[in-house]
Amino acid sequence: QSSGRGDVPEMERADKEVSVAAMKEYYKQFDPRSYLRYNYIPPRADFTRTDSIVPWKLSCLHLIVFHAIGDVHGRTLIDIGSGPTIYQLLSACEHFSNIIMTDFLEVNRQEIRRWLHGEPDTFDWTAFLQHACELEGKGCSWPEKAKRLRTAIHDVIPIDVHSPNPLHPYSLPELADCLVSSFCLEAVSPDRTSFQKALTNLGTLLKPNGHFLMIGALDESYYQVADGVHIPVVPVDQEFVSATLKSCGYEICTFQCYTLPQDMKVGVDDVAGIFFVKAKKK
């Protein structure tokens, strides 16, 4: 099923390279502040509603990391394509002491570093931190949670999921126990073949028996990355994501889907739903 690099015909390979390069060009227009404003304020981040997108994502991450079989743990966790966001690590920072955040764009890495250093005028994650503390129910305060996350994050580094060595030139001291990725592969791949290759590339970063926690968009064809700027997204569904993970050597542990309520369609993308998958590398 999986077509290794050597199997791709010469013409097709040249086309793919152009398409991947075109995606990288599109990303030059990504504006972190606009992206955060489109996706991480109400109604998409309304903590008074369980059917709002962000509370749904946080409860998936919380349930998997805290209450499942309890097998998502270790030392090193790599967050793939972090963007300018930290919400995806709020549960994981309780179980992984060495978190590495990654992004293709320096503007996003810079946004994360500014939050890590507590600089003024960064995005306000307070409600997200409070919600994660409430889910955990251990009486942790949000400033304490922020401190725990900042302590766990050890690096913010460049990544290119389309490279066979995605973190080059960074040399990873040890393979990761867990990979987390939210809205990355479908949003940076020109087609399903590239998505699959990117997943293969990422597999080189993960230990056998390690977990991949992936959140992504269902049936999305574009999203907005700055005012008036749309980037193409490769539309994926549960069947494709599951089959691709299996073809890359993963066992599917959990697969959950969420359908967007009408009022979450705020005109910044055409996403139909969201998937959350926990997969284990065999």
Binding site for ligand SAM (CB under 6 A): 27, 30, 81-83, 85, 88, 103-105, 108, 159-162, 182-184, 187-188
**Exposure class string for 81-119: b at 16+ Cβ within 10 A, else e:** bbbbbbbbbbbbbbbbebbbbbbbbeebbebbebbbeee
Rounded CA separation 263/279 (Å)? 31
CB 213 within 8 A of CB 61: yes
Tell me the closest approach of the beta carbon of residue 269 to ligand SAM, in angstroms: 9
Closest residue to ligand SAM in the complex (CB)? 83
Rounded CA separation 220/268 (Å)? 11
**Looking at beta carbons only, is 76 or 82 nearer to ligand SAM?**
82
Tell me the closest approach of the beta carbon of residue 183 to ligand SAM, in angstroms: 4
Tell me the closest approach of the beta carbon of residue 3 to ligand SAM, in angstroms: 20
Tell me the closest approach of the beta carbon of residue 127 to ligand SAM, in angstroms: 16
Residue 248, classified by CB atoms within 10 Å of its CB into exposed (0-12), middle (13-18) or buried (19+), is buried
**Looking at beta carbons only, is 52 or 88 nearer to ligand SAM?**
88
CB 135 within 8 A of CB 190: no
**Looking at beta carbons only, is 105 or 144 nearer to ligand SAM?**
105
**Looking at beta carbons only, is 72 or 180 nearer to ligand SAM?**
180
**Looking at beta carbons only, is 27 or 47 nearer to ligand SAM?**
27
